[in-house]
Chains A and B, each alone.
Chain A
């Protein structure tokens, strides 16, 4: 945290009893999660409804088997793993905000880093959800626990994924939890208790998406994935989805939590990151498409199927060209001068980038890896209604986690809730938003 945004250290006499203050803190957080405006209740009810629809579909899937999905022995991973892959990128990308804040010591970024880390927590929850619903036997989840189960570490890349994802979740929970609790106590956080973890989480963010890429890139029998460029592409696209989502989120926060100071600097910095990564991603995408399509041969039939269709089958063709169109649109929008002055243009660019990467990392990557199959049979896949319901349910649950986490953390960060003032009836009037959105501020320049 920046020194400027911190309250002065409390006098020794006021220091609250830490044994009692932690339960008090948890109780305050609990109350914050369940108290809000009509819009908050309406939104959470809607998300709960979607999550319950997903839960119901999952219950049916568990009872009847994965036959409720449209996956087959030919295309054995589908929408769930596609969404998982995408969301790992979101989780990694969210922490990218930490890099300018801590590595380059950008003061304004410090204030919004917590938003990125909470997003990472919610995204990992979504990842774990997608893994859980993709398992044929979730009742045997304990088999991955080292000691009780038999985690195949370090040989299986999936076991690496289990380790890095859970580690990442714990890391971010610790950092966020510690900072919020210290804010709540009105104490200055001890750097020793969080700064090492912040730096660790930066490296860890890279690792979660690299390991996820190696999950696919390490399979010799799937030439479409067996590319050394896969991990770099994953990292670059994480640097798109993370900033794009955080920009959108900061706009929402400005609207619904005006007391929380969101300066223009961080938004402009994230937009600047987007301007670069969108182009790098397009370049890498083009390089891979060129290698696959130009050289031809049996190893490149998946790419042909993806972009052009194969043997009269082309279920993925509309997907990938939509993805390409979205990526190009976002690249153009984010480079228009208006993206610096016009909120709508920047938001549209973020939405397009987010959608483009979702298709490219999802249906555009996972499914063509299986088509044609290893014996070169072309069996197509389109997700079933059950798969869409469950996926929507998991995203809804993830959004709920994110909203609740923000609902808890932001009032603490704005000083409206603290150990001395945990009653919610005497809230001070909300401070006005710190500044108008744009024009850009020169602060937050990483160079």
Chain B
């Protein structure tokens, strides 16, 4: 082949290649348009100065309004010194109605299409702790004879495997015992999801869809604000409520009073009474995760 012909072919080939490349990356335009430089370069939650935090919160509020059509307030609520939050659940009383899971879904602005919730309720065989024999997909009147119910959500482990494995410190344990995620720092590797023994973490496989009128506008940075696509999220004991002295949404929704929540450091709290007087156990104790979510039975 002579030189001129070869050159022509090369020019033709590289033009075609460049066109094919441009076509291939075309969908990235939609991806890039959804992102701002401020978001891209935002620092880690714990490195933001108060001024920077104010600017970030304002940006997030504006974003929420632009993307979801709802005016929201996003606060940065810090833990109270001298408070360590704990949760207990009475298995003798729980009837498996899943009102807790539903309330969680609404309170925490979960994606409507996947009907997500931080709580999974297992229907278990009477006389067995074998999770293998449980099911989360039961679809009949409750309580069912011969069954008991085991709601599972984040256990806020003191020795949390999810925190240990995160390669970028996007998840950590706060001083009040709540394990949180910086949704603006998570890289979406899902290693924490693989590490969690309680199936307590969720990934945003797509951008959550929620109608504007269904959005809970009382939000905080580390909990129930609508999460971005491609990051991991989890139960935070409704820290936007509980750090203000309110109760978690799942507890308020429970019709049987199976749930007890409070400050583990307060000797007069109800949860301390439960821990002192009931037969209490934790899930998968053998893994050494040291949950601060306790299960108990009456009598």
> Are both chains from one complex?
yes
A contacts, CB < 8 Å to B: 34, 41, 45, 48-49, 52-53, 55-56, 59-60, 62-67, 69, 71-74, 76-77, 131, 134-141, 143-144, 149-152, 155-159, 162, 215, 218-222, 298, 301, 369-370, 372-377
Cα-based distance from A290 to B184 in the complex (angstroms): 45
Asked if B203 contacts A144 (CB within 8 A), the reply is no
C-alpha spacing A56/B19, complex, angstroms: 13
Judge whether A136 and B229 touch: CB under 8 Å. Answer: yes
- Distance in Å: Cβ of A58 to nearest Cβ of chain B: 9
Residues of B within 8 A of A140 (CB): 40, 168, 185-188
| A49 proximity list for chain B (CB < 8 A) | 20
- The reply to whether A155 and B203 form a contact with Cβ atoms under 8 Å apart is no
Q: 15 interchain pairs (CB within 8 A)? A: A60-B27, A65-B230, A66-B206, A76-B203, A136-B232, A140-B185, A144-B168, A149-B168, A156-B166, A157-B165, A159-B167, A159-B168, A220-B197, A220-B288, A301-B132
Closest Cβ of chain B: how far from A162's Cβ, in Å? 7
Contact partner of A76 (CB less than 8 A), chosen from B137, B167, B193, is B193
Q: Which residues of B contact A64 (CB under 8 A)?
A: 206
Shortest 5 CB-CB contacts between residues of A and residues of B? A136-B188, A221-B197, A136-B230, A65-B206, A158-B167
The answer to whether B24 and A56 touch across the interface, beta carbons within 8 angstroms, is yes
CA of A221 to CA of B157, assembled, Å: 13
A139-B35, A375-B136 given; A150·B203 CB < 8 A: no
Please encode chain B, from 146 to 179, with 1 for each CB lying within 8 Å of some chain A CB and 0 for all others. Answer: 0000001000000001001111111000000000
Known: A52-B24, A220-B161, A375-B120. A73 touches B166 (CB 8 A): no
A56-B25, A73-B193 are contacts. A136–B203 as well, Cβ < 8 Å?
Answer: yes
- Which of chain A's residues have a CB closer than 8 A to the CB of B31? 59, 62-63
Chain B residues positioned under 8 Å from A369 (CB to CB): 194
Cross-interface CB contact of A374 among B27, B189, B197, cutoff 8 Å: B197
Of B20, B131, B161, which is within 8 A of A375 by CB?
Answer: B131
CB pair A137–B186 under 8 Å, yes or no, is: yes
**Chain B: how many interface residues by the 8 Å CB criterion?**
64
Q: Is the interface of B mostly helix, strand, loop or mixed?
A: loop
Q: Please, which residue of chain A has its CB at the minimum distance from the CB of B40?
A: A139
Contact A62:B168 (CB < 8 A) given known A220-B197, A221-B287: no
Specify which chain A residues have a CB less than 8 angstroms from the CB of B131 in the assembled complex: 298, 375-376
Tell me the B residues contacting A by CB distance below 8 Å: 10, 13, 17, 20-21, 23-28, 30-31, 35, 40, 44, 120, 122, 130-132, 134-137, 152, 161, 164-170, 185-191, 193-199, 201-207, 228-232, 284, 287-289
Is B201 a contact of A143 with CB atoms below 8 Å?
no
Q: For B190, list chain A residues within 8 Å (CB).
A: 76-77, 134, 136
Additional A-B contact list (16), CB under 8 Å, known A52-B20, A66-B188, A76-B203? A55-B21, A55-B25, A59-B25, A59-B27, A59-B28, A65-B204, A65-B230, A66-B230, A74-B199, A134-B189, A137-B187, A137-B188, A140-B187, A152-B167, A159-B167, A221-B196
CB distance from B248 to the nearest CB of A (A): 20
Tell me the complex Cα distance, A152–B170, Å: 9
In the assembled complex, the Cα of A168 lies from the Cα of B130 at a distance in Å of 44
Q: Which residue of A lies closest to B34 (CB)?
A: A63
The answer to whether B195 and A221 touch across the interface, beta carbons within 8 angstroms, is yes
Contact, CB under 8 Å: A150 / B168:
yes
Contact of B168 among A72, A151, A372 (CB under 8 A): A151
From A48, A72, A138, A375, residue with most partner B Cβ within 10 Å: A375
Chain B residues contacting A301 (CB-CB under 8 Å) are 132
Selected from A60, A66, A298, the residue in CB contact (under 8 A) with B205 is A66
Q: Could you tell me if B167 and A162 are in contact, using CB atoms closer than 8 angstroms? A: yes
Contact A156 B167 (CB under 8 A): yes
By a CB distance below 8 angstroms, the chain A residues around B17 are 48
Q: Do A135 and B206 contact each other (CB < 8 Å), given the known contacts A144-B167, A301-B132?
A: no
